[in-house]
A and B are shown apart, each in its own frame.
Chain A
Amino acid sequence: MNLEGKKVTLHDMSLRDGMHPQRHQLTTAQMIEVATALDEAGVPLIEVTHGDGLGGASVNYGFSAASDEEYLRAVVPKMKKAKISALLLPGIGTVDHLRMAHDCGVRTIRVATHCTEADVSEQHIALGRKMEMDTVGFLMMAHMIPAEELLVQAKLMESYGANCIYITDSAGYMLPDHVTDRVGILRRELEADTEVGFHGHHNMHMGVANSLAAIEAGAARIDGSAAGMGAGAGNTPLEIFVAVLHRMGVETGIDMWKLMDVAEDIVYPLMTHKVRADRDSLTLGYAGVYSSFLLFAKRAAAKYGLKSTDILVELGRLKTVGGQEDMIEDVALDMKKAGAAE
Chain B
Amino acid sequence: MTTKVRAAIIGSGNIGTDLLYKALRSEIIEPVWMVGIDPTSEGLKRAEELGLKTTSDGVKGLEPHIVDDKVRIAWDATSAYVHEANNDLVKKHDVKMVDLTPAAIGPFCVPPVNLEAMMGRNEQNVNMVTCGGQATIPMVAAVSRVQPVEYGEIIATVASKSAGPGTRKNIDEFTRTTAKGVEVVGGADRGKAIIIINPAEPPLVMRDTIHCLTKDPPKEAEIIESAKRMVAEVQKYVPGYTLKNGPVFDGNRVSFFMVVEGLGDFLPKYAGNLDIMTAAGLRTAELIAEEILRAEAA
Interface residues of chain A, those whose CB is within 8 Å of chain B, are 58-60, 90-92, 94-96, 114, 116-117, 119-120, 122-123, 318-321, 323-324, 326-327, 329-330, 333-334
Contacts and interface: CB of A to CB of B under 8 A. Distances in A.
B172 A60 contact: no
A334 B165 CA distance: 33
B60 interface: no
B255 to A, nearest CB: 7
Most buried by A among B194, B213, B244, B245: B194
A123 B245 contact: no
B192 interface: yes
Given A91-B174, A92-B194, A319-B204, 14 more contacts: A60-B194, A60-B211, A91-B175, A91-B196, A94-B175, A96-B172, A116-B160, A122-B168, A123-B171, A319-B198, A324-B198, A326-B157, A333-B246, A333-B257
A60 B198 contact: no
Contact of A91 (B169, B194, B248, B255): B194
Interface string B232-253: 0000000000001110100001
Contacts of A329: 245, 248, 255, 257
Nearest to B211: A59
Interface residues of B, number: 34
Contacts of A96: 172
B200 A117 contact: no
Contacts of A90: 171-172
B224 to A, nearest CB: 15
A59 B245 contact: no
22 contacts: A59-B151, A59-B153, A59-B255, A91-B194, A91-B196, A116-B160, A116-B199, A117-B160, A119-B165, A119-B169, A123-B171, A123-B172, A319-B198, A319-B200, A321-B196, A323-B196, A324-B157, A326-B209, A327-B157, A330-B245, A330-B257, A333-B257
A324 B196 contact: yes
A288 to B, nearest CB: 13
B175 A114 contact: no
Contact of B194 (A58, A114, A318): A58
